[in-house]
Structure formats: C-alpha cells, structure tokens
Amino acid sequence: MALITLNKLALPTGSVVQVQRNYAVTSSGHIETTSTSLAASGITQSITPTASGNLILVDFNSSMADKTGTGAYGQGRMYMKIGSGSYAQMSGASTYHIGYMQQGENRYGTISFGGSYTTTSTDTLTFQPYISSSSGSFRIVHENSSYHLTLTEIAQ
C-alpha cells in the first residue's frame, strides 16, 4: 500500500485553525493576590501559530472572583509573551482590561476578558492574566468556581 503525503491545504480566511484551552474547576483553594502592583496569576495557556499574520482570539473568564478590604478594589490585565521573551501587557484598556471588583459593590461577580492578537511569527505565544489589589486581597478565582483561558487561531 502506498502512502500519499498531502501538502498543507490553504484554509479560507476566517477558518478556525486550532483551539487551545486551559479550563479548571477549583475544588479547594483560590488564586489570590495582595500585591498593589500587577502580579502573575499563574493561569497560563500557550499556542503555537501555524502562520504569521493569523489572528489569535483570547478569551478569559472566572465564574466567581472575590474582593476583601473595605473600599478596596481589585483589577486585572491580560499579559502575553512571545517565545522565550518576557511577559508584557496586551494592548487594550489601560485600567480595567480584565475587570474591576470592589468590596461591597460587586463582590463574587464574574470577571472576563476578550481580546485578539495578530501573529508576527510562528513563535509560541503564552497568555496569562495579571492581577492587583488596592488593599486587602483580590481573588481572581474563588473556591469551588471555575475559570477558562481559551486561545483560538483564525486563518487570515
């Protein structure tokens, strides 16, 4: 039996090339910071683009976050790194990139992010939410809740 090798097929613009997803339900513990500067959450997902110029859709959601400390607030921003480089903030909203949560206002709400990045190479991309708290603590993922960080490559 002869094996036939096919060249890579060209996909029409807008086709989904691949999806990479980090999904977890936390049965105990939470992801928390007391840092007043943006700090890595530890939630990461990587994708290796198949072509330069493709679009990467970045979606993050935490089903239940939490903020403690009277009058304090928590916020987050999406960061990314290319290859072995350093993490840097994705472009977009300068302050409430992922969301804003204040004790006594919207405690235990969901927080989310939806953004995109156009690839400039086929180097691996890694995305990670960074979070901070004005005082007290900010939990980006509360006990017994879930989160997902999903990356979708779209052919351009």
pLDDT of residue 93: 60
Q: Which pTM does this prediction carry?
A: 0.86
DSSP 105: T
Closest-CA residue to 150 (of 24, 31, 25): 24
Neighbours of 102 (CB within 10 A): 17
Let me know: does 132 contact 39? Beta carbons within 8 Å: yes
User: Could you read off the pLDDT of 103-140 as tens digits, one per residue?
Assistant: 666 667 778 899 999 999 999 999 999 998 888 888 88
pLDDT of residue 2: 44
Tokens of 119: 């690839």
In the chain, the amino acid numbered 51 is: A
Sequence-distant (6+) residues with CB within 8 A of 93 are none
pLDDT of residue 125: 98
Give the chain's residues under pLDDT 50: 1-6
Tokens of 19: 């999806």
Q: Locate tokens 């809740």: which residue?
A: 145
- Distance, in Å, from the CA atom of 31 to the CA atom of 25, rounded to the nearest integer, reads 12
Termini Cα distance of the chain: 37
Q: Locate tokens 């921003």: which residue?
A: 77
Cite the beta strand spans of 5-83 per DSSP E.
16-25, 31-33, 39-40, 45-47, 55-62, 66-68, 73-82
Cα pseudo-dihedral 32, 36, 41, 42, rounded to 10: -100
